[in-house]
Amino acid sequence: MFRRAGLLLAIAVNAHVSSAQTSSSTVNAIERVAQARAQKKIIGQYDPTFRKYTKRYFGPAFDWRYFKAQGYAESGLKASATSWVGARGIMQLMPSTYQEIASRRPEFGPIDQPEWNIAAGIMHDRYLWDLWRKDISDDERHHFMFASYNAGEGTITRALAAARNKGGTPEWASVELIAPTVQRWRYNETLGYVRRIDSTYAKLTRTP
């Protein structure tokens, strides 16, 4: 009889533990879903700004999600982000670069305000996009634009020249091949940056 009572007690305890674990698991799952929704809402709040300034500086046909992907690569879309070299905001602009851009746009406010940071970043992208107009096809140009944003146009110009000297075509794949031979370039950082933008853009285009 004692053994039967012990067995019943064990069953009751196990059932209680199992119920508690199930309840805890359910709560954790609900919390994760809530956090994901909150994060999506926070991130999505910048979509109208990316749309607005892409249309303004690139025209309505250009896909604004390229610049959102760039914002992810730069800062994870965190308005308060600051790099070790002093770059700030969602688009990680150096204060000197921002001041130069803002000097031509008196309506721009502080660098840390998301709208103006995104606007200035896309405006700078437009300058780089035009810079590569003569040498690079439209299908390839976004790679050179983003690489120049990361490493500077002078560095990418030298990289393209090195690729051509080796018989390469004016394509980003040619630059990737000769990247280790280009002096004064942290090429791993730039190549990774461009790949992250491409990868994030591909995910954004699959998102309903």
Amino acid identity of 91?
M
- The SS3 assignment for 46 reads coil
Domain ranges of the chain: 1-44, 47-206
Given a contact cutoff of 8 angstroms between Cβ atoms, the answer to whether 81 and 65 are in contact is no
Instruction: Please state, in angstroms and rounded to a whole number, the distance separating the CA atoms of residues 178 and 22.
Output: 55
pLDDT one-digit tens code per residue, 170-183 = 999 999 999 999 99
The third-level CATH classification (topology) of the domain covering 47-206 is Lysozyme (1.10.530)
109-164 pLDDT, tens digit each: 999 999 999 999 999 999 999 999 999 999 999 999 999 999 999 999 999 999 99
Q: Which residues contact 184 (CB under 8 A, 6 or more apart)?
A: 155
Residue 206: exposure state from Cβ atoms within 10 A (0-12, 13-18, ≥19): exposed
* pLDDT bucket at 29, cuts 50 / 70 / 90: low
34 HSE (CA, 13 A, CB side)? 6
Phi, psi of 88 (to 5 degrees): -135, 150
Q: Given a cut of 80, is residue 20 above it in pLDDT?
A: no
Full-model pTM: 0.81
Cα 161 from chain centroid (whole Å): 28
